Amino acid sequence: MKTIFKNISVIAFCTITLLSCNTNKQPKNVVDGKKTSHTKISSPNIILFVADDHGLDALGAYGNPVIKTPNLDKLAAEGTKYTNAYCTSASCAASRSVILSGKFGHATGSYGHVHDYHHFSTYDSITSLPVLLSKAGYETARIGKYHVAPEKVYHFNTVLEADPRNTVEMANKCASVLKSDKPFFLYFCTDDPHRGHPFTPEEWDTPNSFGNKKEGYNDVNTVTYNPNDVLVPSFLPNTKQTREEIAQYYQSVSRIDQGFGKLMKMLRAEGKDKNTIVIYISDNGMAFPGAKTSVHEPGIKLPCIIKDPSVKVTGVTSEAMVSWVDLTPTILDMAKVDYNKNKFHGTSFKETVGTEKKGNFTEIYASHTFHEITMYYPMRVVRSGNYKLIWNIAYRLEYPFASDLWASSTWQSIYRTNQPYFGPKKVQDFLFRPEFELYDLDKDPNELNNLANKQEFKNKLENLKEKLKEFQTKTADPWKIMWNHDASLQGAGVNL
């Protein structure tokens, strides 16, 4: 009996000693002083803020002195701004599938738009970013534009509802997520600055609204712009119609900025700003012909700003070439979630945050097949250093228009008046493209001087073709077979 009591006393003493030794340490399953079931206290919160059709042209931090984006400019001042960040397809749904899967759309069945009669959908076998984070103990929530399918592949624990054009309202609806006891992943997706409906060209001389309303939006300060003051990108025609539409586009971007600012204010109020990584990107370039749906630079080269509070160096501009296919592994890396690197086509670029060093990020690839189902025009791209190769696989086809771009007064003002040029390019060259386009972006940032048929660039052309073939093999691209298939009429024995 004495032995039993003695053993109990020893056990009690050891237990009290162990507890007292840990009074200044939180258990590993505690975040912000509250218990969670799966995660470590070191797991950061992550906000991925995705705009819709926002190009590099319309942000103060990227050199536009006209547009008012103070909150996004502040993010750039406090974080890392990437100047060579690329989506893989300048089409909303196709791009978003890559963002959330870490794989190119040609390998996942996400060839184009998911909604209505388009019906492109990701294979059930794909495991997406929100699912992986949820398994690791994260609260996953989304608000705004979704535009991927099926839901069981891109499943979020929480779905919040708000007007996707009113980013201030969207921010307010995220209050419960910001209060989460668990680390959270918030996928915040606006409809701005996408063009507004309807997409019809009847009143072709009227600028599209880009979601702007005369009566404005609740709690949003309407910021308007004079068409005479806007900056017309070099690839667009400098016309009255273009300027009027850009002014509307700017207004929509300024609405994004206010909602972003509201979300950051709420984050600070919760005391979570010191443990939250914030990423701002767009799905593709501005909704103007020559950008959206194109693999030329205005379509795929996009804003990317990352603030990681654990990185002490701020106000950094990085020239590392990063891609939206890299985002899923990067976010998993930031979240300290173990993952199989071989499961993704992209690579984590976490190491580039807070430094001007490019590391191994000197090459990107792009892959576009459809926008709407009526817009079949497969293109594959490699950019290696300052050289860029575009392979227009179905080059015999006329380049197709997205509904909203065709209806734009910017395009219709050229089309209906039979103008020979659209910006610096001939309309004929805009509509009918060569099989290969090779550019030296250092000398030719507007991609006007095609080097593909010049003898002195033959070796460079062949080298980049081989890189494309290797890329297609590694990423299981069905369109690789087209290298051995002559799509021209001459190949069928027809003389042109």
- Is 213 in a helix, a strand, or coil? coil
Helix/strand/coil (H/E/C) assignment for every residue in 399-424? CCCCHHHHHCHHHHHHHCCCCCEECC
Query: Roughly what angle, to the nearest 10 degrees, separates helices 70-78 and 240-269?
Result: 60
Convert 418-448 to b/e letters by CB count within 10 Å (16 or more is b).
Answer: eeeebbebebeebeebeebbbbbbeeeebbe
Structure-token pair, residue 352: 């580039």
Cross-strand partners of 323: 86
Are 101 and 124 contacting, i.e. CB atoms less than 8 angstroms apart?
no
pLDDT of residue 200: 76
Q: What are the φ/ψ torsions at residue 281 (nearest 5 degrees)?
A: -145, 175
Catalytic (active-site) positions: 92
The torsion defined by the Cα of 79, 327, 322 and 404, in degrees rounded to 10, comes to -100
Written as one string, the DSSP assignment of 152-170 is: TTS--SEEE---TT-HHHH
10-residue averages of pLDDT along the chain (496 residues) = 38 36 34 37 90 98 98 98 98 96 96 86 96 98 96 98 98 98 98 90 81 96 98 98 98 98 98 98 98 98 98 97 98 97 97 95 97 95 98 97 94 95 97 98 98 98 98 98 72 46
pLDDT of residue 484: 82
CB count within 10 Å of CB 496 equals: 5
pLDDT of residue 486: 65
